[in-house]
Amino acid sequence: MKAEQKSDFDSTHIFMFIKRWWKHLAIICTVAAIAAVIFSSPIFITPKYQSTVTMFPSQSVSLSRSVLGITAGTRDFLQYGDIDDAERLLQVLGSSVIRSRIIERFNLIDHYEIPWDHQYLYTMVDREYISNVSFRRTEFGAVEINVRDKVPAMAADIANEIAALVDTVQNEMRRERALLAYQAAKNQYDNTQQEIRKAEDSLRILMKKGIYDYEGQTAMLFRQLAQDISAGNTVAVQALEQRLDAMGDHGGAFMHLTNYIKESGENLATAHRRYQEAKADLESFVSFKFIIDEAQASERKVYPVRWLIVAISVFATGFFAVVILMIYSNLENKGIIKTKSKKK
């Protein structure tokens, strides 16, 4: 009996397979390579150039505390930020606020050639923006802005503008909170000043009644009263008693106002310090980054990588060609596909 024909490929079968089909595989792979070269050319795929901005985040601190020295700060304004500061910076970079401003400022709808009557106009421009603009934190704690565009100068301009908008957007957000703090500090300062003025006005009224120093005047009047009583000066005694009665009637108010003005003066100094701090935070423009490298127009494209496209295309085409030819050979060996026999 004849042994059954083996359908699986051993080393001999593989050698015979390659010997039989190598010309076909070479032609297929060559055609795939030529097609990949053609279809990866600028005619079919628009080349893109990449520009990068590298920066370190700064410490998230109050300018008035770290620079002006109004209040003791715990962090140095001139130090690089930590991981948390870098993550906050990345959140701002990826915000819709910056994205919208960049799209509007550079007219990216026309630049990306998106029809204005498109049903999903803003979805499409956002998608195109996200695919061309990326942000990442490096292993050294820096933050990179990477922008790709078909125009090298445009990629550099967008990257630099995004870096500039980081400070603008964060200062706008910070100013909203600083404005609330400023208004509260100003109201407290103004109210304290107003209360002190009222107390001083009331004190002037008492001073017009002859009360200047309650404790000193009272002691002096009692000494004078004792002397006049000893001398039997009845008229002077009556006059002194009237003055002492007046001191008794208004002395409590005088002491209260004096102590109140003294304490309010200390509170006013604190309120004024807080007011200055809030005003400095409101009026200052703080930078939240240290630029290491600004974006420059690139001279070489980064997309598409033609050699990689050609290599993948040739490999994938060759792989599928081998699979198909192996299936064909297997079916041929089993007699399912019949070929013309050679004449003897």
Q: 243 and 159 in one domain?
A: no
Residue 100 Cα to chain centre, angstroms: 15
Residue owning tokens 């934190």:
137
**Cα dist. 307→36, 37, 38, 313 in Å?**
9, 8, 12, 10
CATH no. for residue 192?
1.10.287
CA distance 131 to 125: 10
Q: 125 and 231 in one domain?
A: no
Q: Is the residue at 331 inside a domain? A: no
pLDDT for 5 equals: 45
Q: 197 and 70 in one domain?
A: no
Q: 112 and 76 in one domain?
A: yes
Q: Is the residue at 216 inside a domain? A: yes
pLDDT for 12 equals: 67
Q: 214 and 171 in one domain?
A: no
pLDDT for 289 equals: 85
Which residues contact residue 83 at a Cβ distance below 8 angstroms, ignoring those fewer than 6 apart? 137, 141
Least confident of 133-137, 209-213, 309-313: 209-213
Q: 294 and 155 in one domain?
A: yes
Distance in angstroms between the alpha carbons of the first and the last residue of the chain: 25
pLDDT for 341 equals: 47
CA distance 254 to 248: 10
Q: Is the residue at 39 inside a domain? A: no
CA distance 280 to 182: 9
Q: 216 and 108 in one domain?
A: no
Q: 229 and 92 in one domain?
A: no
171: pLDDT confidence band, cut at 50, 70 and 90?
Answer: confident
Which pair of structure tokens corresponds to residue 170?
């964060």
- pLDDT above 70 for 220: no
231: pLDDT confidence band, cut at 50, 70 and 90?
Answer: low
Q: Look up residue 95 and give its DSSP letter.
A: S
> Of the candidates 250, 283, 316, which is a domain's last residue?
283
**Residue 6 burial (C-beta neighbours within 10 Å; 0-12, 13-18, 19+):** exposed
**pLDDT tens digits for range 62-76:** 656 555 555 544 555
Mean pLDDT of the 97-108 span: 94
Which pair of structure tokens corresponds to residue 33?
């390579």
- Torsion angle defined by CA atoms of residues 249, 254, 259 and 262, in that order, rounded to the nearest 10 degrees: 170
54: pLDDT confidence band, cut at 50, 70 and 90?
Answer: very high
Q: Is the residue at 67 inside a domain? A: yes
CATH no. for residue 75?
3.30.1890.10
Question: Higher pLDDT residue, 18 or 241?
Answer: 18
149: pLDDT confidence band, cut at 50, 70 and 90?
Answer: very high
Task: Name the domain count of the chain.
Answer: 2
Q: For residues 147 and 159, is the Cβ–Cβ distance under 8 A?
A: yes
Q: Look up residue 82 and give its DSSP letter.
A: -
Q: 119 and 193 in one domain?
A: no
Q: 164 and 297 in one domain?
A: yes
Mean pLDDT of the 2-8 span: 45
Q: 137 and 202 in one domain?
A: no
Q: Look up residue 68 and give its DSSP letter.
A: I
Mean pLDDT of the 134-139 span: 92
Q: 296 and 158 in one domain?
A: yes
CA distance 152 to 48: 8
pLDDT for 342 equals: 43
* Domain boundaries, position 186: 181-283
Buried b (16+ CB within 10 A) or exposed e, 34-52: eebeeebeeeeeebbbbbb
